[in-house]
A and B are shown apart, each in its own frame.
Chain A
Amino acid sequence: MSIAISEQDTDILLSTKNILDEPVLDKYQLAGKVTQTTLQYITSLINSCYHDSKKDDNQLFSISQLCFLADLFMNQLLDKDFKAKTLEKGIAFPCSIDIDEIANGWSPELDDTTVMQEKNKDRDEETLSNGIKSSLKNFLSVGDLVKITLGCHVDGYTSQITHTLCVYPTEVSPVTGLNQASGPLLGSKADAAAVAHIAKEVVSNLLASAATPEKLPESLKKINPNNEAKVTGHLIRKVVDHLIESYNCALVPGSKIRRIRRFLAGQNEGVVAEREFKGCVWYEFNQETILLNKSEQYAKDLNSNEQSKALTLLQNSENNHENKQKSAFIYDSAIATDNFTVLPGEVYLIDLRVVSLSETPELGLVSVETLSEFSGTTSTGRNMTVRNSQFIRDFTQIKDLKLRASKECLTKMDKQSVYPVKLTYLSDEYQQLIKSPIELDLQSINYTEEQSIIMKENLRSRMGMKEIMDNYLATSKPVQIVKYIPWELIVNLSNPEGVKSTDAINPTLPGFEIPLPKLNISSLKLKTLFKNSRTITLPVAREACTVAITDDLTYKLTHSEPIYLQSKYELNPNSELTQGIYQLVELAKDSRFGIKIRNVKPLSEKSIRIGIPDMTD
């Protein structure tokens, strides 16, 4: 069987449908509203049981419960809106709640936690890192940096939000008599969360200025080649790197600022190599480049003949990575480069994952490790075994399945859209729940009966999913944690297999098979270092939002307020770049002559109840 989308259809699907006209913008706005409302909902859920009152564990909402409730709420909202029209709409990013070092993908099914506890019962509690411990317990604990990721789409127009929260210790306020946080978030976690928020805001301002690039401050224009007044990939990268560096932080590989299109919101990265990719992506080799530049500088400063080992390596290695990347770009626009200009009429996703380096003992590389689903493999090392809950359909694969359960599962999956699904979404009981009215009173939420039915239905789906996965018709989204590997370990690593060995489990785009090309370290080698005792985990802060740029106004589809924290770092006011950033922020505040930005607000409580989208701002 052949699948081919004709040229005309391709043109319609990829270009015509992505023109940011009034109806499309409405859909984007609605998606943004629903996403924000759901974030509010889940935040209030967390506040109600973790902040507002002291409750024992039985009354708390567990992480899997929170994920379930958030998904349900979002689906119910979407079901109410646009009821008359039959559009593809639904969850684009299943609600995931990642704690501390977990970077993404923690959205357990209702029954997953017991299974994972069973799988990991042999592991020593002491060796587990904080985030994993909390996640395994299935409850948040005080001091956890909690990242909530959500997203929905209306007719394929997607909005995503990731917000970093913190579970504070509470005390009764003498003024209001209510519980309040006993103090701001401090330390490395605060640095990361602060800079993530700042970077997100600055980048969204920068993107917004794409409509009126002539207003860009001079110091920012200078970064562009030929001092052009445009918002380019180079500019964005420079600004972000500068901000992150000023807070002594680092970006986690996989952070990105990218253009999104209808049905293409980065939901199936790793499965699909998307054509005409536009955006900045941070990889491991960016950190390598920074390190090597530094060492070069250091060598120059020393003005001695003795050169660092890294520099020797640099000279010996064939510097063909750039060439490879260039040639790949010619043939395949799926590879991200900074050679792009942000244009009005495009929608961008800002997704930044930041770790603070202030508590690290030595210089090192920030990398992500994928947690294995199988116990007993050597690669897991001291980490836990997980069970992935999000599945992405790979539509290019065709295969006739044998089991009835898997056939049913696949049919249901295909009926869902192209976004990741959890098994819960496939359950009939859940689909019925969506039709039921929204429970707005947080105290009276009780879906025990329905949940037990859903768990039963999930068993059958899971059996079907097994065959689907075995035939590569779908892949699961991994749970990843952030690891910090000292450079010393990397540099001293012997690499007898050479750079040609690649990791088949985690496929990469052509040109990116080797994470550290200049040091000639293959991904398999890097993997072995994750087990080393000097490798540590770092808590991550993550902020994401969607920005739609039109000619006269920029819509911030998803917006979140910063949390209560205090960081000891601040931007260096003497730097030219910092001055430029300050000017940019001033411009964004100036509603008359500056950059025009509008925050899309969440749905009002009234419109949630009535179920009519509130399109007036």
Chain B
Amino acid sequence: MNYTCGACWIQFTSTKDQRSHMQTEWHRYNLKRKVADLPAVDEKTFNEKVAKINETKKQVDNVDIGTNAKASKLSPKDLKKLQKQELLKKKQELLELAKKQIELKLKRIQDDGSLTLSPEVEKSLSDKIAQLSQDIEKIQFKNKPKEPLSEEEIYRKKLTNQVEFKEIDCLFCPINSNKKVTTFEENIEHMALKHGFFFPEEKYLADKNGLLKYLSEKIGLGNICLACNFEGRSTESVQQHMIMKSHCKIPYFTEDEKLEISEFYDFTEYNKKNRFRKKYGGESAENYNEEEEEEDDDEWDDVEEEEEVEDDDVEVNGELVVTRRIDKNGNYHYEDDNGIDYSDAIFNSGDKLYLPNGLVLGHKKDIQKYEKHVKRERTVTEGQGTVLAAESRHFITLIDQKELDEKKRTWQKEVRDKKKHEKNYSKNTNNQMFYRDQLLQ
């Protein structure tokens, strides 16, 4: 049975059936759902949905048919046009009325010199004007877009709608639906099994309750999906969204995502281990494996390393390891093991940190570059200098590195020139205008 439909998750016995299926509305609907990352619905549900929609449509039609029969057929653009025309018409009427009023007044002045019209005429005219202007206002108001709610209002609204999650409430199932779960651990297990929800870097998660509380607030109060930035109308809608789109997870990929929940984590242990590996080269197998597992999140804690520079003391102790922490305001703090603050760095160029004392801290990603062995200039104290100056053993050969390099270059050049010359020579001697067979000479 090779005849399937990927969108509707069904099988067919023949091509004919398949083809006919492809033309159905149901299939189209499922295609659209597939594009939207939603699971397919079966035919029965689809028919129910269609029936439901039809029913509501009918009701609406029934209501609207009398009043807006015409309007319902028109597109919103046309509707707007129509309204505009109406408004224009009304305005013109108003203008005409005003004109009439003025003409009448002028007539009266010409006729008898009085400035006022007869009270009846005056009243009817002014009434009409008032009526028209009211109509215009109404139409204008109708056309005006609704004003968005202010932040405060939204907040207030959300607070009133807030759903509070308890420790044993699943974040994704509709609230109070899950009666079996009795403890916090069971709840987490439920979420893991049912929804595939897990905590990233659980080993270093210091405050699990806090993190869960934060997430529940995000869903219950903010109505925001954990994985994407979808904002639902209500808690239920967000929950539905997450289940349907399999968004029951904490994103943990980009820096921002990591920072969002960083306050619940404690990476000091990891940093310590990392330093241990640096110091002792991660020789023991056990250590090494551990580190391998953690390789993925190496970037996160940004253990930075000292570039080998002039300072003698630092060189002796090996690398200077600085940990970067981010506080709630999003500012970076640089600290080393002894708690010395390096936040007063002069300049941070992204992967290098220039400290006021002249040291440059490098980023971990360039560790290979920095670990490369750099020969340091040897400084000789007076005592050493004296002993060396007085030394008369013959095996010390005083080689000037610059001179040696120069010599090497010359040798290389000589060899190259020689080869070039040979090549040219052989090429020239081999240059024969015409081929002559030796036997025919």
Contact = CB atoms under 8 A, between A and B. Distances in A.
B391 A275 contact: yes
Interface in A300-351: 332-334
A51 interface: no
B383 A396 contact: no
A28 to B, nearest CB: 16
Interface in B314-338: 316, 318
Contacts of B382: 13, 17, 88, 156, 263
B383 A417 contact: yes
B389 A10 contact: yes
Contacts of A3: 378, 380, 388, 396, 398
A387 B381 CA distance: 30
A408 B393 CA distance: 28
A407 B392 CA distance: 27
A274 B392 contact: yes
A488 interface: no
A290 interface: no
B386 A272 contact: no
B254 interface: no
Interface in B333-384: 373, 375, 378, 380-384
Nearest to A10: B389
Given A3-B378, A3-B380, A411-B316, A263 B392 contact: no
Contact of A263 (B318, B383, B395, B399): B383
A273 interface: yes
A332 B392 contact: yes
A2 B398 CA distance: 6
Contact of B384 (A1, A395, A400, A404): A395
A268 interface: yes
A296 B381 CA distance: 53
A163 to B, nearest CB: 26
Contacts of B380: 3, 5, 395
Interface centre among B318, B380, B389, B396 (most CB of A within 10 A): B389
B394 to A, nearest CB: 8
A17 B389 CA distance: 13
Contact of B390 (A276, A407, A411): A276
A510 to B, nearest CB: 9
B401 interface: yes
Contacts of A88: 381-383
B387 interface: yes
Interface in A378-418: 395-396, 398, 400, 404, 407-408, 411, 414, 417-418
B400 interface: yes
A275 B387 contact: no
A14 interface: yes
Contacts of A272: 387, 390-391, 393
Contact of B388 (A1, A262, A332, A395): A395
B385 interface: yes
A264 B390 contact: yes
B384 A418 contact: yes
A610 interface: no
Contacts of A156: 382-383, 386
A417 B398 CA distance: 23
B386 A396 contact: no
Nearest to A392: B387
A395 B387 CA distance: 8
A9 interface: yes
Interface in B264-290: none
A414 B373 CA distance: 21
A4 interface: yes
A559 B34 CA distance: 104
Contacts of A17: 382, 386
B189 to A, nearest CB: 47
Nearest to B313: A411
A396 B389 contact: no
Task: Count chain B CB atoms within 10 A of each CB in A17, A262, A273, A395 and give the residue with the most.
Answer: A395
A13 B389 contact: yes
Given A156-B383, A411-B316, A418-B384, A1 B378 contact: yes
Interface in A1-36: 1-5, 9-10, 13-14, 17
Contacts of A334: 392
Nearest to B378: A1
A263 B393 contact: no
Contacts of B401: 1-2
Given A417-B383, A418-B387, A396 B393 contact: yes
Contacts of A9: 385, 389
Contacts of A273: 391-393
A5 B390 CA distance: 10
B386 A418 contact: yes
B119 to A, nearest CB: 112
Given A1-B375, A2-B400, A4-B398, A274 B385 contact: no
B386 A264 contact: yes
Contacts of A398: 378
Nearest to A90: B383
A407 B328 CA distance: 42
B386 A13 contact: yes
Interface string A416-428: 0110000000000
A229 to B, nearest CB: 31
Interface in A425-473: none
B387 A268 contact: yes
Given A2-B401, A3-B396, A274 B388 contact: no
B381 A14 contact: no
Contacts of B393: 272-273, 396
Contacts of B384: 395, 414, 418
Nearest to A263: B386
A3 B390 CA distance: 13
Contacts of B378: 1, 3, 398
Interface in A158-209: none
Given A1-B375, A333-B392, A396-B393, A263 B387 contact: yes
A146 B130 CA distance: 131
B291 to A, nearest CB: 19
A357 B153 CA distance: 114
Contacts of B387: 263-264, 268, 272, 395, 418
A427 to B, nearest CB: 15
Interface in A572-605: none
Interface in A256-278: 261-264, 268, 272-276
B310 to A, nearest CB: 15
B386 to A, nearest CB: 4
A68 B378 CA distance: 32
Contacts of B390: 14, 261, 264, 272, 274-276
Among B380, B382, B396: residue with most chain A CB under 10 A: B382
B365 to A, nearest CB: 25
A5, A333, A398, most chain B CB atoms within 10 A? A5
Interface in B395-414: 395-396, 398-401
Contact of A417 (B316, B381, B400): B381
A268 to B, nearest CB: 7
A275 B385 CA distance: 13
A396 B375 contact: no
Contacts of A417: 381, 383
A1 B398 CA distance: 9
22 contacts: A1-B375, A2-B398, A4-B400, A9-B385, A13-B386, A14-B386, A156-B383, A156-B386, A261-B390, A263-B383, A272-B390, A273-B391, A273-B393, A274-B391, A275-B390, A275-B391, A275-B392, A332-B392, A395-B384, A395-B387, A395-B388, A396-B393
Given A88-B381, A395-B384, 13 more contacts: A3-B380, A5-B389, A13-B385, A13-B389, A14-B386, A156-B382, A261-B390, A272-B391, A274-B392, A395-B388, A396-B391, A396-B395, A400-B373
Q: Across chains A and B, which 3 residue pairs bring their CB atoms closest together, nearest first?
A: A263-B386, A418-B383, A10-B389
